[in-house]
Amino acid sequence: MGRVGELARLTEALARPPAVLLVEGEAGSGKSRLVAEAVRALDERSGNRTTGNGTTSQDGTPTPPSATAPRRPVLLGRCHPLREPEPFGPVVDALRDAAALLPPPAELPPSTGALRLVLPDLAAQLPAAPPDGGTLLSARRLLAQGVRALLTALDAPVLVVEDLQWADDATLDLLVRLARDLPPRLALVVTYRPEDLPPGAPAPGAAFRPAPARTGGHGAGVGHGAVGAPVRLERLEPLDEREVAALARSVLGPAATPELARVLYERSQGLPLAVEEDLRTLAERSPIERTPTERTPTGLTATERTSASSGRTSTGDLAAVLAAAEVPRGLRDAVTERLARLGGDGAAVVAAAAVLGVPADEALLTAVAGLDAEAGADGLTEALHAAVLRETAPDRYAFRSPSARQVAQGRVAGPRRRVLHQRAVAALGTREPRPLARIAEHTLAMGDRPAWQDLAQAAADQAAALGDPGGARRMLRGLLDESDLDPRRRGRAALALARLAADDVDPAASVQVLSGMVADSRLPVADRGEIRLALGFLMAVHSGNRAGFDRIRESLEELEERPVRAARAMVAIAMDERDGAGRRSGEWLARAENLLAANPDEDVSAAVRATTLTFQARSADPAVWDRLDELPRDSERPEVMRQTTRALYNTGEIAIELGYDRRSANLLEESRRLARLTGIPYLECYSRLALIRLDMLAGRWDLVEPRFARLGAEFDDLAMAGAERSLLFGRLAAGRGRLALAREEFEIAARFGQRESQVTVALRAAAGLGGLQLLEGDTAGAAGTVGPALATARQADAWARTAELLPVAVEALLATGGRAEAGEVTEEATQSLTDRGAPAVTASLHLSRGLLLDADGDPEAAEAFTRARDHWQDIGRPYEAARADERIAAALAARDRVRAAERMAAAERVYLELGATTDTARCRKLRRDLDLGGIGSPGRRGYGKRLSPRERQVAELLAQGTGNQDIAQALFLSPRTVEHHVANVLAKLGTGRAGTAQALALADAEDAAGEGGG
């Protein structure tokens, strides 16, 4: 994972000796693994793949060892951090493995006899030793000559020397001499850690220093040694968060949510060894089921894809497992090793950084460490050279990862930590403005709880005043966790938390605290009502749990003394549209406006305005778009701006359902911008989610996953984010042929839709799941899925938001003999949209009518499909337009074959551009069934060792973990045909199922390199 380019370059260099290859990276970055994979890939390039004692040929036929092509000899030696290392030790260790590779002594050059003294086990296979030159210099020269001669006598060897940063002078001298006169068929590979080199030392010697990069990708450079042998440097950077997420998905499947991937990344900072160890922890300690026969890229057993959606485990469970786990052993050992080499001043600065816990400047680190300025500078410099600390910004220093800090903090004894915390309080207390939250944390760490309580309340007030509601909420939640907190302070803190809860991006923690507070009978009734109202908001709005509306209704009686807050509760209740509640929305808004008439309040009036606009958009009232221009964009009141942002988001999101995609993009961009400017993170997150959905609808499928990953790195997991992710990822998976995964995603979204107070998610989830069931031939299941969804749409009068559902419902009803019901549904939706503006539903209704006409054998079906296609094109949704084109082709096939072939070809081209594997396969099958000809393909040809287009489709599905049965369904092939394609793919790539993704990426990289080189 994350090393495809490096692997391709290293493999290519090994295949073209002589070469000196340097692999640089910190401990745990995967240097040894990369070299091993490159050597394995080099062997596979010969046409054979090693399997035990034999190989597998390209056609998949096992061959005995005697029939295999000779492998490149690989000699491996390692340097060790010993005080008195054995001279030439790593090279000697490597050459000991050459015993079985040596020709008879008579065929070896006489100079190899110089190795008799350092390789006594091989003495009988070597010529006589040459005369001793009498000096250390001459002995080294003879040894270097002997090593070179022996390597020359071998058949194109690969000499690997690991951890060169610990090499003794004699070994370095030997390797330098060898590199300056490299045998013509030798590839010399050295790995080293740059952080363990002496300060200012070249990396790792002048003879290995590459010239400026002329070829290769980022992080790679090619130079030349003294006699022209290519010298390549590969720097292994930490994996980025996207690559860590990919690695997690390969092991955990759907359980590897963006939130969990972010935790993995934060713990490891992208160090592959640390990621792998954490994944092992999750695999061993979590209740995820695993498939015993599959192996992941880390060597771990692969997890079942159903783990996340079945309820056996959850992101929270997995995150809790990680939170309780120790620092990954490999990372702990690496950090401990670096800490052990620090002197007194360096250790003092590192201890100060561990206690401070956040990036700090040199002056603060020096003060907390108890050093003078000069000693502090020296200690900080030492910690930086040892790669324990790093400079995160000008004059800001911190640990390289939270896990590294955890290791360092564990080495500071309790009494010493208390002293450091006292110094931190004193040093921070001199700064203006005083960082009260940090001072409070150090005070609590000292054990002074009464002082901490005073500071926590003051810090929360300070954070709220400075526009940091998240920081204020964290302090207040911590304060409310105190069992001995004074009741008056408890009530004040709870009310403050309730008033800050509206914009909470981490609702779970506040829900837990506020749930306990509403049961406290000591609170004034009105305060308890406000807290209950805030709790209901968090449950209903942020957590997607409509039980929150029950809490809001309960708050009304407690809020009689506060009519403005009661009006706000009524506005919130109006938003519930499930189980017939939507029919009373107007009544609740009217009651709120009556209260406001007697008790004017600009903030709650803004909420009424935003909610009214939302209702207009829901009902597809064309007047809503002009009214949006009247919203205030520059109010000085934060709540008014929040409600403006909310109105823009709500109407922009509903505009997607209605089919106003361009208008939606403008509204969502404005809501995103205002949310960022006014500090409303959850609305910024929601706006960006909807913009990602627009990307997918516009045909930019390749942007969906990376944009979700970036969003997950910035925002805490919100319920709506999970539902939207499942809906979009379900559509992607279905289009790409991963039908089992698509089902999981749609079922996750459907469960969310059952709890949510809005009906849109439930309608979209039913459309996705029903469409998948139709694809799989489960027409009864599809009818059972869409039936309740249609009832929901009818009850909520949500026909304007059924663009995805209607065609699926009509097709499912027709397939199960429900022709009359399908017609009634279509007519009901049509009547409900009279005088309303909903282009997407209009397109879906044309498609639905086409399905009804086609079922009756009416030739007008093609025209109905054509009208649907034209509407989708006007809206800007290429996938939906292609589906309509496919319908047109099928309807015209019997009477206008030329036009039918044109429409089928147009649909197929769109599917290919989108990467819609399943749709492409269905389209091609239908084209063959209708005998409509091809789309201008060059015809069948031999592909040799390269994958054919069909094999490429199979390989991509295999790389995503798709089983044979799903591949057969996705590509409309028989299971036997799929088995044949799978065997060919694995043979051509020279790998097993678990290695398909990596082998396919490597093959692509090699193809790209070949094309680039002509």
Q: Return the structure tokens found at 620.
A: 């597809």
Q: Which residue has the higher pLDDT, 462 or 256?
A: 462
pTM: predicted TM-score of the whole model, two decimal places: 0.62
What would the mean pLDDT of 211-229 be, rounded to a whole number? 46
Q: Which residue has the higher pLDDT, 467 or 603?
A: 603
Q: What does the alpha-carbon distance between residue 868 and residue 649 come to, in Å, rounded to a whole number?
A: 28
Minimum mean pLDDT range among 198-212, 693-707, 746-760, 962-976: 198-212
Share of the chain above pLDDT 70, in %: 84
**Does position 218 have pLDDT exceeding 80, yes or no?**
no
Minimum mean pLDDT range among 21-25, 368-372, 663-667, 889-893: 21-25
- Percent helix, strand and coil across the chain, each to the nearest 5: 65, 5, 30
Other beta carbons within 10 Å of 520: 14
Give the pLDDT band of residue 176 (cuts 50, 70, 90).
confident
Confidence (pLDDT) at 791:
95
**Does position 226 have pLDDT exceeding 70, yes or no?**
no
**Does position 268 have pLDDT exceeding 70, yes or no?**
yes
pLDDT tens-digit series, residues 399-425: 877 778 888 988 899 899 999 999 999
pLDDT tens-digit series, residues 286-316: 544 433 333 333 333 333 333 333 333 444 5
Q: Are 182 and 192 in contact (CB under 8 A)?
A: no
Confidence (pLDDT) at 286:
53
Task: Identify the DSSP state of 127.
Answer: P
Burial group, residue 469, by CB count within 10 angstroms (0-12, 13-18, 19+): buried
What would the mean pLDDT of 176-202 be, rounded to a whole number? 79
User: What is the number of alpha carbons within 13 Å of residue 20 lying toward its C-beta?
Assistant: 27
**Does position 500 have pLDDT exceeding 90, yes or no?**
no
Q: Return the structure tokens found at 870.
A: 């034209």
**Does position 224 have pLDDT exceeding 60, yes or no?**
no
Confidence (pLDDT) at 305:
31
What would the mean pLDDT of 715-730 be, rounded to a whole number? 77
Give the pLDDT band of residue 393 (cuts 50, 70, 90).
confident
Is it true that the peptide bond before 287 is cis, omega within 30 degrees of 0? no
What would the mean pLDDT of 790-810 be, rounded to a whole number? 95
pLDDT tens-digit series, residues 568-598: 999 999 988 887 777 888 899 999 999 999 9
pLDDT tens-digit series, residues 703-714: 998 888 888 777
What would the mean pLDDT of 427-438 be, rounded to a whole number? 90
Q: What does the alpha-carbon distance between residue 386 and residue 339 come to, in Å, rounded to a whole number?
A: 8
What would the mean pLDDT of 794-808 be, rounded to a whole number? 95
Q: Which residue has the higher pLDDT, 125 or 516?
A: 125
Nearest alpha carbon to residue 3 among 1013, 990, 1012, 997: 997
**Does position 543 have pLDDT exceeding 80, yes or no?**
no
Q: What does the alpha-carbon distance between residue 784 and residue 142 come to, in Å, rounded to a whole number?
A: 84
Give the pLDDT band of residue 515 (cuts 50, 70, 90).
confident
**Does position 559 have pLDDT exceeding 90, yes or no?**
yes
Q: Return the structure tokens found at 960.
A: 């995503």
Q: What does the alpha-carbon distance between residue 479 and residue 421 come to, in Å, rounded to a whole number?
A: 20
Other beta carbons within 10 Å of 132: 11
What would the mean pLDDT of 720-727 be, rounded to a whole number? 83
Collapse the DSSP code of 77 into the 3-class scheme (helix H, G, I; strand E, B; otherwise coil) and give the result: strand
Confidence (pLDDT) at 261:
81
Confidence (pLDDT) at 546:
81
What would the mean pLDDT of 143-158 be, rounded to a whole number? 86
Collapse the DSSP code of 159 into the 3-class scheme (helix H, G, I; strand E, B; otherwise coil) and give the result: strand
Q: Are 375 and 345 in contact (CB under 8 A)?
A: yes
Confidence (pLDDT) at 809:
97
Q: Which residue has the higher pLDDT, 254 or 589?
A: 589
pLDDT tens-digit series, residues 619-649: 999 999 999 999 999 999 989 999 999 999 9
Collapse the DSSP code of 223 into the 3-class scheme (helix H, G, I; strand E, B; otherwise coil) and give the result: strand
Q: What does the alpha-carbon distance between residue 818 and residue 158 come to, in Å, rounded to a whole number?
A: 70
pLDDT tens-digit series, residues 979-1013: 777 777 777 776 777 677 767 776 766 665 555 44
pLDDT tens-digit series, residues 522-534: 788 888 898 899 8
Q: What does the alpha-carbon distance between residue 439 and residue 450 come to, in Å, rounded to a whole number?
A: 14
Of the ranges 72-76, 501-505, 772-776, 938-942, the best mean pLDDT one: 772-776
Q: Which residue has the higher pLDDT, 809 or 56?
A: 809
Other beta carbons within 10 Å of 135: 9
Q: Which residue has the higher pLDDT, 214 or 771?
A: 771
- Residue 992: which region, alpha, beta or left (left: phi > 0; alpha: psi -120 to 50)? beta
Confidence (pLDDT) at 319:
67
**Does position 654 have pLDDT exceeding 90, yes or no?**
yes
**Does position 66 have pLDDT exceeding 60, yes or no?**
no
Confidence (pLDDT) at 17:
86
Share of the chain above pLDDT 90, in %: 36
Position 420, amino acid: L
Mean per-residue pLDDT over the chain, rounded: 82
Confidence (pLDDT) at 215:
39
Q: What does the alpha-carbon distance between residue 267 and residue 399 come to, in Å, rounded to a whole number?
A: 12
Count the residues in the chain.
1014
pLDDT tens-digit series, residues 50-64: 333 333 333 333 333
What would the mean pLDDT of 711-738 be, rounded to a whole number? 80
